[in-house]
């Protein structure tokens, strides 16, 4: 699913922020939405910074697996602190991040292709690969949220 469609899916989940299911995930829906939006906004902000360094390709099995399959294995990675909220997540904050993410994604598509994002596990990602990463990452969290909702009887 494209990042634009994923953003719309995140928006549809706003009424369910209070729902959680520890059998599926330690974190509730609010956390997954907040985290997904923080990642989108953080990556977009980083991409806007013009860098003079050439992209140095990094190769790893996990990076190849994730980009080839479009799947992030659950529970295998720890999110960096800057994209994890320690505060109580409220609807207004998520809504503000959603608006910012939509604007950032529009801006991102206008950036020079030479811009890149430095991922903590995957290394330097080109603009195109950064967009693909955002699609994969957001869809990963949407799958978890859908499992929370499906198993919340």
Q: What is the CATH number of the domain that holds 125?
A: 1.20.120.450
Domain-located, residue 152: no
Give the per-residue pLDDT at 101.
97
Within a domain: residue 27?
yes
| Cβ atoms within 10 Å of 130's Cβ, excluding its own | 23
Domain span including residue 134? 3-147
In a domain, 74, yes or no: yes
Q: Considering the domain boundaries, does residue 153 fall inside one?
A: no
**The predicted structure's pLDDT at residue 113:** 84
In a domain, 77, yes or no: yes
Q: Report the pLDDT value the prediction gives residue 30, as an integer from 0 to 100.
A: 95
What does the pLDDT read at residue 36? 97
**56 in a structural domain:** yes
Ranges 4-8, 77-81, 135-139, 141-145: which has the least confidence: 77-81
For residues 49 and 47, give the distance between their C-alpha atoms in angstroms, rounded to a whole number. Answer: 5
How many domains are contained in the chain? 1
Structure tokens at 130: 């950064």
Which H or E run includes 63? helix 61-69
Q: Is the dihedral of CA 61, 62, 64, 69 positive or negative?
A: positive
* 3-state secondary structure at position 125: strand
| Helices (runs of H) and strands (runs of E) counted in the chain | 5, 2
Q: How many CB atoms lie within 10 A of CB 19?
A: 14
Q: What is d(CA 44, CA 41) in angstroms, rounded to the nearest whole number?
A: 5
Residue 115 pLDDT > 70: yes
pLDDT of 33 over the 90 cut: yes
Residues 118-133 have pLDDT tens digits of 888 888 898 999 999 9
Q: Can you tell me the mean pLDDT for 70-88? A: 81
- Give the confidence band of 52 by pLDDT, cuts at 50, 70, 90: low
In the chain, the N- to C-terminal Cα span, in Å, equals 27
What is the rounded distance in angstroms from the CA atom of residue 5 to the CA atom of residue 135?
9
Polymer length in residues for the chain: 153
Q: What per-residue confidence (pLDDT) applies to 14?
A: 97
- Check pLDDT > 70 for residue 76: yes
């Amino acid at each position: 699913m494209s990042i634009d469609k994923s953003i719309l899916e995140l928006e549809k989940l706003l009424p369910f922020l209070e729902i959680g299911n520890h059998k599926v995930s330690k974190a509730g829906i609010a956390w997954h939405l907040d985290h997904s939006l923080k990642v989108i906004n953080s990556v977009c902000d980083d991409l806007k910074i013009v860098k003079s360094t050439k992209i140095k390709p990094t190769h790893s099995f996990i990076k190849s697996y994730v980009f080839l399959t479009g799947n992030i294995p659950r529970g295998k990675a720890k999110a960096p602190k800057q994209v994890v909220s320690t505060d109580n997540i409220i609807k207004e904050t998520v809504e503000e991040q959603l608006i910012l993410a939509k604007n950032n994604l529009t801006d991102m598509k206008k950036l020079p292709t030479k811009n890149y994002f430095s991922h903590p596990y995957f290394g330097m990602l080109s603009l195109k690969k950064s967009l693909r990463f955002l699609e994969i990452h957001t869809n990963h969290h949407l799958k978890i949220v859908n499992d929370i909702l499906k198993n919340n009887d």
